Amino acid sequence: MTAMNAQSRNPRETMTSRQRLLAALNHQVPDRVPIDLGGNQTGIHKFAYRALIDHLGIEAPVEIMDSVQQLARPCQAVLERFHVDTRYISAKAPDGFHGEIERNRRGGRLWHDLRDEFGVVWSMPDDHPYYMDISHHPLAEKTIADLADYPFPKGDDPSRFDGLRERASAIRNDTPYAVVGGISGVVYETCWYMRGLERWLMDLVTDPEFCAALLDRVLRFWLDWFRLFLDEVGDLIDVIMIGDDLAGQTGPLFRPEIYRSLVKPRQKRLVQYIRSRSRAKIWYHTCGSCIPFIPDLLDNGVDVLNPMQIGAKDMDPAALKASFGDRMAFWGGAIDAQHVLPTASPETVREHVRGSIEAWKPGGGYVFNNVHNIQAGVPAENIVALFDAAYEFGFYR
């Protein structure tokens, strides 16, 4: 089935995927709630994907699109089966960067190690191949003086963007789908990846000068990166995804006043630069109970919030919609992904999705997706129930 034909299977569909997504993000009522799958925060783990395509009888290879999270790239047959309205494009590592996964033995186990461009090492045991954790923080023992000589990567290496415009143009001109960018603009989290989370959280209180200096170096990388990225696809892309986790299960990871003094000014500068170069909607990812930060994100210029972790403290869909739904679009929030999706029956999943959609969808401003990635161990039947319910209950009258 071709992409164009996939859009005309249901006579109740009166929009293309791109029209539908943009209407929703502009707080207009589309024909149905747009559906997303396949991003770095809206994807599916390789084990869940293998079980899913076996269940659906789809023959396709399992291609890893995110090594750290071990996410599979959904094939076209899966995307069409679930009426997915988004298609993703991403830049790549620059020519000459050797980012291959190495296999090393230590501690009596075989490990898969990946050193990223910032010098952070991510590792996964071969006998437990679910995802990678950080095993080396290159700035753990460094001082502010050391930052001047640290080999930060070059954001505006043009080889990163080879073929990007062609890929975006093919989606924009030859399919009905919305063009969405992979995750980028990770200003704050990159700092703690390099420093170590515990040390970084201490630095925020005890050494804000170091934090500011490192944030500025990482921001410079992303400003340079976006300058070339937007040169290539700023006129073609519909949604640009950026993000840094600011909250945990019960509330902020650090005091909001620290965010406003140190992190927010850098994030705002990046968002405003993107807005000056493109009409794309700007999507911001933070997990957890992030309510204290939503006014700040709106002030920064963010249009869309993800993943809407409805199992976290105070993250009630109806309350969030009432408080911020006229200014912020919501992307995610489909179901409690920790306590319901992995363990409930398909019928229970269906009813949870029905309730979430009823809360999120009035007046537009909502895009359907699970809360973050579908993890290993989620039954294939529940994944089918999740997306089938999204399609069934997503139509507007």
Dump pLDDT digits (tens) for 104-121: 999 999 999 999 999 999
Contacts of 367 (CB under 8 A, 6+ apart): 21, 24, 25, 33, 34, 35, 36, 304, 329, 330, 331, 332
Q: pLDDT band at residue 152, thresholds of 50, 70 and 90?
A: very high
- The pTM (predicted TM-score) of the whole model is 0.95
CA distance 193 to 191: 5
Q: Which has the closest alpha carbon to 279: 235, 310, 241, 246?
A: 235
CA distance 24 to 144: 45
Q: Does domain 3-393 have CATH number 3.40.640.10?
A: no
What are the pLDDT digits (tens) for 26-48? 999 999 999 999 999 999 999 99
CA distance 111 to 123: 6
Mean pLDDT of 244-267: 97
Q: Residue 106: beta bridge partners?
A: 109
CB atoms within 10 A of CB 230: 18
Residue whose pair of structure tokens reads 């929703």 in the numeric block: 24
Q: Which has the closest alpha carbon to 31: 64, 7, 49?
A: 7
Residue 8 has pLDDT above 90, yes or no: no
Q: What percent of the chain stands above pLDDT 90?
A: 96
Q: pLDDT band at residue 10, thresholds of 50, 70 and 90?
A: confident
Residue 7 has pLDDT above 80, yes or no: no
Residue 378 has pLDDT above 60, yes or no: yes
Mean pLDDT of the chain: 96
- String of b and e for 306-343 (b: at least 16 CB within 10 Å)? bbbbbbbeebebeebbeebbeebbbbbbbbbbbebbbe
Q: Which two tokens stand for residue 161?
A: 């963007």
Q: pLDDT band at residue 2, thresholds of 50, 70 and 90?
A: very low
Q: Which two tokens stand for residue 111?
A: 């490990």
Sequence letter at residue 340: V
Mean pLDDT of 242-256: 96
Residue 101 has pLDDT above 90, yes or no: yes
Residue whose pair of structure tokens reads 């040390």 in the numeric block: 199
Cα 278 to the chain's mean position, in Å? 19
Distance between terminal CA atoms of the chain?
28
Q: pLDDT band at residue 6, thresholds of 50, 70 and 90?
A: very low
Confidence at residue 5, expressed as pLDDT on a 0 to 100 scale: 41
Confidence at residue 4, expressed as pLDDT on a 0 to 100 scale: 41
Residue 12 has pLDDT above 70, yes or no: yes
Burial label for 61, CB within 10 Å (0-12, 13-18, 19+), is: exposed
CA distance 41 to 242: 10
Residue 387 has pLDDT above 70, yes or no: yes
Q: pLDDT band at residue 9, thresholds of 50, 70 and 90?
A: low
Q: pLDDT band at residue 11, thresholds of 50, 70 and 90?
A: confident
What are the pLDDT digits (tens) for 299-314? 999 999 999 999 999 9
Residue 1 has pLDDT above 60, yes or no: no
Q: Which has the closest alpha carbon to 246: 234, 256, 238, 232?
A: 256
Residue 73 has pLDDT above 90, yes or no: yes
